[in-house]
Amino acid sequence: MDNRPESPLTRGYNARRENRLEDAKEAFTEAVSLYRKSNNPRLLAQSLTNLGATERDLGATEGARECYEEATALFRTVNDPLSLAQTVRHVGDILREEGRLAPAEPHYREALDIYCGQEDTPPLDLANAIRGFALLQQETGHREEALELWQEARELYAYVEVDAGVAESDEQIGKLTVAETR
């Protein structure tokens, strides 16, 4: 039997999975403190992204964005392009959700550039980045670009069998197609 104490990251993962968000926040905050002291940029960045996700779930978008921005800087110092892309995309998502559309765009472009430059990019991660960029293009009035992006996202969601992503893509494609015929 293993009597080692559970790491704060593991406690945070478990609490978040069980939707105990305040417990998750506490555990991830502890992990951030621990890994900040241990000078481990990769684990600190992972802790920050998890704290950011939890803050976002709790509706604290400013705190979430700050966590993701710090994690982005850390992921730039370690060789982990997929984590960097995902973290940059989350910053873009938050900025877009806050209505800060112009600052969001370079985040999506960077995430997509990284994903497209990696052979091992998970299709779901790419689909999610394309989805965010499609929403941004739609919100900024770039209908043609948004339509192309939604079609690409739909193909990826279908490939990985994420029905909710396919349904959302179909809905957005329908809206954009109707808007085109007006």
Classify residue 143 by its DSSP letter. Answer: H
Domains in the chain: ranges and CATH? 1-78 (1.25.40.10), 82-182 (1.25.40.10)
Confidence of residue 5 (pLDDT cuts 50, 70, 90): low
Confidence of residue 181 (pLDDT cuts 50, 70, 90): low
pLDDT average, residue stretch 48-57? 98
- Reply yes or no on whether the pLDDT at 2 is more than 50: no
Phi, psi of 99, rounded to the nearest 5 degrees: 85, 10
In whole numbers, what is the pLDDT of the chain averaged over residues?
A: 95
Structure tokens at 84: 């960097």
Confidence of residue 6 (pLDDT cuts 50, 70, 90): confident
Q: Which of 81, 82, 86, 41 is nearest to 68 (CA)?
A: 86
Q: Which of 75, 24, 72 is nearest to 51 (CA)?
A: 24
* pLDDT value of position 39: 86
